[in-house]
Structure 1
Amino acid sequence: MVEDMLAGMSLRDKIGQMLICGFYGTSMDGDLRRLIADYKIGGVIYFARNVESPAQIARLTEELQDAAAKSGTPSLWISIDQEGGMVARITEGVALMPGGMAIAAAGSEEDAYLAAYASGQELAAMGINLNYAPVLDVNNNPGNPVIGVRSFGESPEKVARFGEQTLRGFQDAGVAATAKHFPGHGDTDVDSHLDLPTVPHDRKRMEAVELKPFREAVQAGVDAIMSAHIYFPALESGKLPVTLSRAALTGLLREELGFEGIITTDCMEMNAIAEHFGTVEASVMAVEAGADLVLVSHRLDRQLGAIGAIELAVNEGRLSAERIDESVRRLLAMKLRRGVLGVGKPPEGLLGGLAPQDGPDSSVALPPVKNETGAVLPGMVGSAADNAAKGVPDAPDLSLLGNAEHREIARRISEASVTLVRNGIPMLPLGRERTLVVTVAPAVATLADESMAAGPGLGSALKRHGLDCREIVVPPAEIAGRLDSLVREAVSGGYGHLVVGTYNAQFDAAQISLVKSLLALGKPLAVAALRNPYDLLAFPEVQVYAAAYESRPLALDSMAKALLGLIPFRGRLPVSLGELHPAGWGLGL
Structure 2
Amino acid sequence: MEREWKNWDLKKKVGQLFVFGFHGYEPTKQIKRLIEDSGIGGTIYFSRNVKDAEQVHKLSGELQDIVRKAGQPPLFIAIDQEGGMVARLVDGVTLMPGNMALGAVGLAEGARETARVCGEELRLLGVTMNYAPCIDVNNNPENPVINVRSYSDRSDVVAELGAAAVEGYQAARVAATVKHFPGHGDTAVDSHHALPILLHGRERLEAIELKPFRAAIEAGTDCIMTAHVCLPALDPSGVPSTLSEPVITGLLRKDLGYNGIVVTDCLEMDAIDKHYGPAQGAIQALQAGADLVLISHTFEKQLAALEAVVAAVKSGELAETRIDEALDRIMGLKVKLELDEDLLPWEQVVTRIGTENGKAVAKTWSEASVTLVKNGGQILPLRREESTLVLWPAIVPVSVADEMLAGDGTLGYFLEGLGANVTERQMNSDSPLSDLDSFTQVIVVTYDASKHPIEREVAREAVRLAPERTVVVSVRNPLDLLLFPEVKAYIAVYECRPLALASAAKVLLGDLVPTGKLPLEISAAYPFGWSADIGS
Provide TM-score, normalisation by structure 2: 0.96
Q: 1:559 aligns with which of 487, 504, 508?
A: 504
1:5 alignment counterpart: 5
Task: Answer whether contact 1:44 1:78 (CA < 8 A) is retained.
Answer: yes
Aligned partners of 1:182, 1:18: CA distance in 2, in Å?
19
Which amino acid in the other structure matches residue 29 of structure 2? G
CA deviation string 1:313-344 (max 9, x = no partner): 111110011111110111000110111144xx
The Cα of 1:218 is off from its aligned counterpart by 0.9
Equivalent position SS for 1:78 = strand
Q: Which structure 2 residues correspond to residues 363-442 of structure 1 after superposition, within 5 A?
A: 395=345, 397-431=349-383, 433-441=386-394
- Does 2:411 match 1:458? yes
The SS at the match of 1:236 is coil
Letter aligned with residue 495 of structure 2: E
Instruction: Map 1:129-168 to 2 at 5 A.
Output: 129-168=128-167
- Count residues with an aligned counterpart: 527
1:585 aligns with 2:491: no
* Aligned position for 2:288: 289
Residue in 1 aligned with 2:63?
Answer: 64
State which drifts further: 207-216 or 231-240. Answer: 231-240
SS in 2 for 1:400: coil
Contact 1:506 1:537 in 2 (8 A): no
> Would you say the 8 A contact 2:272–2:281 is kept in 1?
yes
Match of 1:230, SS state, is coil
Alignment of 1:173-184 (within 5 A): 173-184=172-183
1:444/1:188 CA distance change after superposition, 3 Å = farther
Q: In structure 2, what is the equivalent of residue 256 of structure 1?
A: 255
**Residue identity opposite 2:241 in structure 1:** V
Q: Decide whether the 8 Å contact of 1:35 with 1:41 is kept in 2.
A: yes
Deviation string for 1:87-115 (max 9, x for gaps)?
00001111100001101112221121111
For 1:111 and 1:513, the matched residues in 2 are separated by 36
Aligned position for 1:497: 441
Q: Does 1:334 align with 2:328?
A: no
Contact 2:389 2:422 in 1 (8 A): yes
Distance 2:503 2:523 in 1: 25
Measure how far apart 1:441 and its partner are.
4.4
Give SS of 1:98's match.
coil
Residue identity in the other structure for 1:420: L
The 8 Å contact of residues 441 and 454 in structure 1, kept in 2 or not, is answered as no
- The answer to whether the 8 Å contact 1:457/1:473 transfers is no
DSSP-derived class of the 2:378 partner? coil
Q: Which deviations, in whole Å up to 9, do the C-alpha atoms of 1:380-419 show, x marking residues without a partner?
A: xxxxxxxxxxxx8555523211101110000000001000
2:77 is aligned to: 78
| Contact 2:106–2:157 under 8 Å retained in 1 | no
- Distance in 1, Cα, partners of 2:149 & 2:12: 36
* 3-state SS, counterpart of residue 65 of structure 1: helix
Quick one: distance in 2 between partners of 1:5 and 1:141? 45
Question: Aligned equivalents of 1:454 and 1:294: distance in 2?
Answer: 35
The question of whether the paired residues in 2 share the 8 Å contact of 1:420 and 1:587 is answered with yes
Kindly provide the CA deviation profile for residues 144-180 of structure 1, in whole angstroms up to 9, marking residues without a partner as x. 1111111110111110100011010000001000010
Determine whether 1:507 maps to 2:460.
Answer: no
For the aligned residue pairs, the C-alpha RMSD in angstroms reads: 1.6
CA contact (8 A) 2:135 2:162 kept: yes
Identity %: 44
Alignment of 1:299 onto 2:298: yes
Q: Which whole-Å deviations, capped at 9, do the CAs of 1:450-472 have from their partners, x for residues lacking one?
A: 99755332111111111111011
C-alpha contact (below 8 Å) 1:21/1:44 kept by paired residues: yes
Residue aligned with 1:190, SS: coil
- Are 2:128 and 2:174, in contact at CA under 8 Å, matched by a contact in 1? yes
> Residue 180 of structure 1: SS of its match in structure 2?
strand
Query: Hey, what's the Cα distance between the residues in 1 that align with 2:259 and 2:400?
Result: 31
Given candidates 535, 539, 543, the residue that maps to 2:488 is 543
Partner of 1:348: none
> Unaligned regions of 5+ residues in structure 1, if any?
343-391
Distance 1:271 1:314 in 2: 26
Say yes or no: does 1:526 pair with 2:471: yes
8 Å CA contact 1:442, 1:454 repeated in 2 = no
C-alpha displacement at 1:277, in angstroms?
Answer: 1.7
Change in Cα spacing, 1:450 to 1:66, as seen in structure 2 (3 Å) is farther
State the distance in 1 between where 2:289 and 2:483 align: 42
The residue identity in structure 2 corresponding to 1:233 is P
Verify the 8 A CA contact 1:48 1:451 in the aligned structure 2.
Answer: no
Distance 1:65 1:89, change over 3 A: same
Q: 2 CA distance for matches of 1:51 and 1:303?
A: 21
Q: Relative to 1, partners in 2 of residues 1:442 and 1:509: Cα closer, same or farther, differing over 3 Å?
A: closer
Structure 2: how far apart are the matches of 1:109 and 1:142? 24
Structure 1 residues 542 and 450: CA distance shift in structure 2, 3 A: closer
Cα distance in 2, alignment partners of residues 443 and 272 from structure 1:
26
TM-score (norm 1): 0.87
Q: Which runs of 5+ in 2 are unaligned?
A: none
Q: Which amino acid aligns with 1:536?
A: L
Q: CA deviation at 1:51?
A: 0.8
- Structure 2 SS opposite 1:214: helix
Read off the aligned partner of 1:473 and give its amino acid letter. Answer: Q
Query: Conserved in 2, the CA contact under 8 Å of 1:438 and 1:501?
Result: yes
8 Å Cα contact 2:400-2:497 kept in structure 1: no
Q: Which of 420, 425, 428 is matched with 1:472 structurally?
A: 425
Equivalents in 1 of 2:313, 2:157: separation in Å?
A: 43
How many angstroms does 1:504 deviate by?
A: 0.9
Q: Is the 8 Å Cα contact of residues 139 and 153 (structure 1) preserved in structure 2?
A: yes
